[in-house]
Amino acid sequence: MTVLHQYDYLFAITTCFAFLDAWNIGANDVANSFATSVSSRCLTMKQAMVIASIMEFSGSVLVGSRVAETIRTKIVDPVLYEKQPSVLLLAMMCVIIGSSIFLTAATRWGFPVSTTHSIVGGVVGAAIASVGIRNVSWGWSGVGQVFAAWVIAPGISGVLGALVFFITNHFVLTRKGAKAIQRAMLSIPFYTFITIAALTMLVIWKGIQLDIEPTGSQILVSIFTIATGATLLQSYFILPYLWRKVIREDWPLKWHMIWRGPFLLKRPPPPSPPPGISWVNITDYYRGHLTPDELATVRASESLLTSVQAAHSPADLDKDTALVLPPPAVSPTFPPPRDNPLIPPRPPGSWYTPRVLLHFTNRALLRGLEKDVISLQKNHPASALSWDIADMHSRSPRYDNRVEYMYSSLQIITASASSFIHGANDVANCIGPFATVYSIWRTGTVNTSEKGNEVPIWALCFGGAAIVLGLLTYGYHVMRTLGNRLMLISPSRGFCMELASAVTVLVSTRLKLPVSTTQCITGATVGVGLANGDWRCVNLKLVGWVYLGWVVTVPVAGVIAGGLMAIIINAPRWDLVVLP
């Protein structure tokens, strides 16, 4: 039963902008999380979208309500609005509008900002305009705690990423031949156990709300049981498949045979491959990325060609001058093909025929899935992000593609866990204020009790669906900015980044801190890049650009939300009284 019928239009406006805000979270935040998986060629764009759709929605619905409480109640005390609940309704509407407007502009230009920053900045701005700056909780229990998490989270994520990669690099990746493959196979169950245990920990700690909280021993038993069971299942099905595929060089083996498990070990030795067929058909994860020697040869050839073209006479070619290489700021370009193989050809017939109309409808709906993100990363035109990408990639060590192939299965698991945890954490950015608006509009009061502040399941489903839609339709804009433009991504590096980021977000969710997943994945990427031993393996200009976005987001979103709030509550026909 709705009480505040006179504000139906405010609830309708809030619903529309909440959907836009959640759509931007998917297009911006989720996209930068999956940029590592797509950039490493571990997942195709469509595969990443399927995994993200399932895991983001599940995380939003099962766990998202707990973090939403921080956004709703910790920055400004709802008790201040008890005498005028409609002021809080208006404030939360302005918060969502300010956040969604800023995020829409940032996503359009492929600018990877923090959606957490935008919503917190909006809450602060609207609170200052309505109850005054002194009533904002700036201490450790409010904004101070959130700001501290923004500083600490990238550091923790970077340290964890560097530590995991250093251990993996030392014990597995740098080993030679079969020894590296065997150690990679032994390490996969270990990392799988850690990933599943972290995910189980999140669901049990702060997952589905129960009337009786589980005890510490029950939590430990559940974590070890589920993680061990998942690891055994993976060892039963995945490891025999990898053994046959990589070590036995079983080139006719198909991916759907993975369900045979250990029975694959009884397959007869594979025949010799026919001409033109690779012995194992493993993806070349470093395709298109030049080694230092290859890059030097390419640039020397480019310099020689430039000298020949610039010569005015044959005598100029005989001059005994040293060959001067071009400056490293100009990297070789890789123009995308004119015919995108991801887009099916247009069927014959006039534009108004059903087959042609269906073709164009699919192109409009599936536009985001048909982008070659790796090519887009090499052709980003923004001068602010210019960097010697080819030189940066050449400085990263190359590892055996067979080992990378083994870690690709591990990256799929870490990507799934990271996506689930992201949905659990970031759905609060739009659903927290929206749930407050819905509660006030329906009851006419400000609920301050813990029971009254529970987020409805349908609201979490609403936010999760919008997040998935944003990723599907527009996520490629941010994906092309990050990934290989930040550093060379391979499956072994990608899983280290995602595991470190997921663990950091997990701890933050446990503490009810709405941290930025953008910061966590960026910090983990920088940590893994520096663990290569050369700081030039990381695009520091892009890192600085991303950090600048985090600094700008809070005041811009705050000014938009606060300015809108101040204008409305001081309008002559607005019947609300500004709170002291």
pLDDT top residue among 409 and 337? 409
CB-CB contact of 189 with 205 (8 Å): no
Look over the chain and give the mean of its residue pLDDT values, rounded to a whole number: 79
Torsion-angle region of 483 (φ positive above 0: left; ψ -120 to 50: alpha; else: beta) = left
pLDDT top residue among 352 and 86? 86
Query: 3-state SS string over 130-155?
Result: HHCHHHECCCCCCHHHHHHHHHHHHH
| Residue 388 three-state SS | coil
| Segment holding 225, helix H or strand E | helix 216-242
Encoded tokens for 248: 């036995």
Q: What is the pLDDT of residue 224?
A: 92
Give the number of other CB atoms < 10 A from CB of residue 31.
Answer: 31
Q: What is the pLDDT of residue 316?
A: 57
Calpha distance 211→454 (Å, rounded): 13
Torsion-angle region of 110 (φ positive above 0: left; ψ -120 to 50: alpha; else: beta) = left
Report, as an integer, the average pLDDT of 409-424.
80
Q: For the ranges 154-168, 203-217, 454-468, 472-486, which has the lowest average pLDDT?
A: 203-217
Report domain extents, the chain: 5-174+396-569, 292-311+321-394
Calpha distance 424→68 (Å, rounded): 9
Calpha distance 470→368 (Å, rounded): 9
Calpha distance 188→172 (Å, rounded): 11
CB-CB contact of 111 with 481 (8 Å): yes
Q: What is the pLDDT of residue 269?
A: 85
In tens, the pLDDT along 79-120 reads: 888 888 888 899 999 999 999 999 998 888 777 787 778 888
Calpha distance 181→554 (Å, rounded): 47
Report, as an integer, the average pLDDT of 316-334.
48
Report, as an integer, the average pLDDT of 543-564.
87
Q: What is the pLDDT of residue 252?
A: 84
Q: What is the pLDDT of residue 332?
A: 42
pLDDT at 578 exceeding the cut of 60: no
Beta strands in 453-527 (DSSP E): none
Q: What is the DSSP letter of 537?
A: G
CB-CB contact of 33 with 521 (8 Å): yes
In tens, the pLDDT along 149-187 reads: 777 888 889 999 999 999 999 999 988 888 888 899 999
Nearest alpha carbon to residue 528 among 155, 173, 171, 166: 166
The angle at the Cα of 312, spanning 310 to 313, to the nearest 5 degrees, equals 130
pLDDT at 331 exceeding the cut of 50: no
DSSP H helical ranges for 354-453: 354-365, 373-378, 389-394, 401-426, 428-443
Nearest alpha carbon to residue 458 among 170, 105, 60: 60
Q: For the ranges 128-137, 199-208, 231-240, 491-500, which has the lowest average pLDDT?
A: 199-208
pLDDT at 355 exceeding the cut of 50: yes
Please report, for the chain, how many H helices and E strands are present, in that order. Answer: 20, 0
Encoded tokens for 73: 């109640």
Q: What is the pLDDT of residue 448?
A: 65
| DSSP per position, 319-378 | ---PPPPPPTT-----PPPSS-TTSPPPPSS-TTSHHHHHHHHHHHHSGGGG--HHHHHH
